């Protein structure tokens, strides 16, 4: 991947079944661990909200710009120890964020848009904290549905999160007692009737109950697990293993996890009209060690590489170096290489690009010198390592093309490559995403503006091949002959056909404006 996608986020929640005197911070320490393991999904801002029955502030939070180690302190540091001592809690939720909407990096706006959000109220049944991962394409319609009441609200952000907070608060207006399971099922059922799009929500009430909900289409992954000490949920299943949790389960589309002193239980709050997992989660966003509803991310990426190898036509030999774009390109290379070996082809392997960190390059302005320098800092390479070689570069996708153009130039000029050939583990991205990934307009997408041979020239490549749509469906395990719109995945950014009404409406609106 050329580091150009954003708007993915991570959610996390921990409920302690019994006190943990040997763990300073209690559930807060668990959420910190989960967030630190999910910075691949967001490093613009983060936050943790906690419940503590012994505190004057039953619900309290800390949020701000940066990754968890930057905001709360590095593991083992005095800063983190002080934070955990001050924000101790038996239940906690947390969030890592890229911009979900209103993508300003102004420090004040980042601070306001950071999650979780806290809704304070004198009555405990109406006070809550929550965070969410996703995007609502019908956000403007939701504003309009307030029927003139917007004059009574002061919006600090342009985020979906603030709008969600208002709709939850409006639903709770008629309550004067703590909510039970049926009440919460009814609340999320009401939200499902109003919201169109992707939303994984972690919710914490002022009676110490933890909730997690996955939208009826199941766009984003949401895993949970328990042991004798705690119950936890997270966007990435591999993060739960970092807490020593086994037997990871996956919350189904339209399902709600509720946890309190009686234990965890799962309720269905809405029927699923169609399962529409975001295929980009498997291609790019998720960590390779994670699973998406039981689907192995690692094996999926290897199958993508195998599919690319099946249709490879480039003549190869000892001068051909096959190199992945770290990190998602590494498992793609495994499948690609195994596929080439089965065909009896000759080549060499090269770790030409060494990734120094997990910083995303989109934060700097496109085309700026800062962005170019950031690429060079992100990927290290021995000068002349590829001298006179033909390089086959394996990446997961090309979206805008800005970073890939610089990367190809870097491989030629600094590495000394004779030729550069790109193999992309996804079909061309020709359409926007309205469910949480920053592909806002077709004019931003290089494959929407140019044909593949033109993209090849634009990026400075000698050859370019994309994965076909059918090959992608095979790689993610869809039965042969299944139409994309009938699969259990959202492929709207490739096909222009979206699984929800407002996704298709938004595409029509954008097409008219463009």
Same domain, 98 and 181: yes
Name the residue with tokens 């969600």. Answer: 164
Same domain, 371 and 479: yes
CATH of the domain at 119: 3.60.20.10
Q: What is the 3-state secondary structure (H, E, C) of 400-448?
A: CCHHHHHHHHHHHHCCCCCEEEEEECCCCCCCCECCCCCECCHHHCHHH
Q: What is the number of structural domains in the chain?
A: 2
Q: C-alpha angle 221/225/229, rounded to 5°?
A: 150
Both structure tokens of 465: 């091949």
Task: Decide if 234 is inside a domain.
Answer: yes
More confident residue, 257 or 379: 257
CATH of the domain at 386: 3.40.50.2020
The CA distance from 96 to 87, in Å, is: 18
Name the residue with tokens 């419940």. Answer: 51
Same domain, 335 and 241: no
Both structure tokens of 479: 């039965």
Identify the weakest region by mean pLDDT among 121-125, 355-359, 429-433, 465-469.
Answer: 355-359
The rounded radius of gyration (Å) of the Cα atoms in the chain is 23
Same domain, 316 and 264: no
Task: Decide if 5 is inside a domain.
Answer: no
Q: Is the pLDDT of residue 367 over 60?
A: no
Q: What is the pTM (predicted TM-score) of this model?
A: 0.92
Same domain, 267 and 369: no
Would you say how long the chain is, in residues?
Answer: 514
Task: Decide if 205 is inside a domain.
Answer: yes
Same domain, 237 and 337: no
Q: Rounded mean pLDDT of the chain?
A: 90
Q: Percent of the chain beyond pLDDT 70?
A: 92
Over range 473-500, report the average pLDDT.
94
Task: Decide if 467 is inside a domain.
Answer: yes
Residue ending a domain, among 232, 258, 273, is 273
* Selection from 272, 198, 197, 287 nearest residue 242 by Cα: 287
The pLDDT score that the predictor gives to residue 412 is 94
* Selection from 292, 283, 239, 223 nearest residue 38 by Cα: 239
The pLDDT score that the predictor gives to residue 498 is 97
Alpha carbon separation from 181 to 12, 247, 256, 366 (Å, rounded): 21, 25, 10, 48
Are 282 and 301 in contact by the 8 Å Cβ rule? The answer is yes
Task: Decide if 292 is inside a domain.
Answer: no
* Selection from 204, 205, 292 nearest residue 12 by Cα: 204
- pLDDT digits 0-9 by tens, 270-287: 999 999 999 999 999 999
Both structure tokens of 244: 């020593």
- pLDDT digits 0-9 by tens, 132-176: 999 999 999 998 888 777 667 777 888 899 999 999 999 999 899
Task: Decide if 278 is inside a domain.
Answer: no
The pLDDT score that the predictor gives to residue 440 is 57
The CA distance from 171 to 184, in Å, is: 10
Same domain, 139 and 195: yes
Task: Decide if 283 is inside a domain.
Answer: no
The CA distance from 236 to 410, in Å, is: 33
Over range 68-75, report the average pLDDT.
96
Both structure tokens of 67: 């990754």
Same domain, 268 and 301: no
The pLDDT score that the predictor gives to residue 377 is 67
Are 91 and 51 in contact by the 8 Å Cβ rule? The answer is yes
Task: Decide if 181 is inside a domain.
Answer: yes
Same domain, 71 and 191: yes
The pLDDT score that the predictor gives to residue 356 is 64
- pLDDT digits 0-9 by tens, 375-422: 666 788 888 999 999 999 999 999 989 889 999 999 999 999 999 999
The pLDDT score that the predictor gives to residue 171 is 96
The pLDDT score that the predictor gives to residue 510 is 85
Same domain, 213 and 350: no
Over range 221-250, report the average pLDDT.
96
The pLDDT score that the predictor gives to residue 342 is 97
Domain hosting 438: range is: 297-513
Q: Percent of the chain beyond pLDDT 90?
A: 77
Same domain, 241 and 307: no
């Amino acid at each position: 991947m050329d580091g150009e996608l954003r708007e993915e986020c991570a959610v996390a929640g921990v409920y302690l079944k019994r006190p943990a005197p040997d763990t300073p911070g209690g559930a807060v320490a668990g959420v910190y661990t989960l967030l630190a393991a999910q910075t691949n999904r967001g490093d613009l801002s983060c936050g943790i909200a906690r419940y503590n029955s012994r505190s004057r502030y039953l619900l309290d939070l800390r949020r701000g710009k940066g990754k968890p180690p930057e905001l709360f302190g590095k593991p083992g540091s005095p800063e983190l120890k002080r934070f955990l001592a001050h924000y101790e809690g038996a239940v906690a939720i947390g969030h890592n964020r890229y911009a979900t909407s209103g993508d300003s990096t102004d420090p004040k706006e980042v601070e306001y848009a950071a999650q979780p959000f806290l809704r304070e109220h004198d009555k405990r049944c109406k006070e809550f904290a929550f965070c969410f991962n996703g995007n609502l394409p019908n956000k403007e319609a939701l504003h309009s549905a307030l029927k003139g009441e917007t004059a009574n609200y002061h919006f600090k952000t342009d985020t979906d999160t603030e709008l969600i907070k208002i709709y939850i608060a409006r639903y709770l207006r008629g309550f004067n007692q703590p909510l039970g399971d049926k009440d919460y099922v009814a609340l999320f059922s009401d939200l499902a009737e109003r919201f169109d799009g992707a939303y994984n929500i972690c919710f914490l009430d002022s009676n110490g109950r933890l909730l997690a909900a996955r939208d009826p289409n199941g766009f984003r992954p949401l895993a949970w697990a328990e042991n004798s000490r705690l119950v936890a949920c997270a966007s990435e299943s591999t993060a739960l293993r970092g807490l020593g949790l086994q037997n990871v389960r996956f919350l189904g589309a339209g399902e709600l996890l509720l946890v309190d002193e009686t234990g965890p239980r799962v309720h269905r709050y809405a029927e699923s009209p169609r399962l529409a997992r975001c295929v980009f989660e498997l291609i790019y966003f998720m960590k390779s060690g994670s699973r998406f509803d039981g689907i192995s991310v690692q094996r999926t990426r290897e199958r993508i590489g195998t599919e690319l190898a099946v249709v490879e036509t480039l003549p190869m030999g000892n001068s051909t170096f096959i190199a992945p774009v770290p990190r998602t390109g590494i498992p793609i290379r495994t499948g690609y290489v195994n596929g080439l070996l089965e065909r009896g082809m000759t080549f060499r392997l090269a770790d030409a690009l060494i990734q120094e960190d997990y910083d995303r390059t989109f934060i700097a302005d496109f085309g700026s010198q800062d962005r170019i320098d950031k690429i060079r800092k992100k990927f290290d390479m021995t000068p002349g390592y590829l001298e006179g070689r033909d390089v086959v570069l394996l990446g997961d996708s090309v979206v805008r093309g800005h970073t890939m153009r610089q990367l190809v130039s870097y491989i030629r000029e600094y590495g000394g490559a004779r030729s550069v050939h790109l193999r992309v583990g996804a079909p061309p991205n020709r359409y926007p995403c309205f469910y949480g990934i920053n592909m806002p307009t077709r004019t931003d997408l290089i494959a929407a503006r140019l044909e593949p041979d033109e993209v090849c020239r634009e990026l400075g490549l000698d050859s370019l091949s994309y994965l076909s749509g059918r090959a992608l469906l095979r790689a993610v395990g869809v039965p042969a002959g299944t139409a994309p719109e009938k699969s259990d995945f959202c492929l709207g950014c490739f096909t222009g056909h979206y699984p929800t009404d407002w996704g298709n409406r938004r595409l029509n609106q954008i097409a008219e404006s463009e």
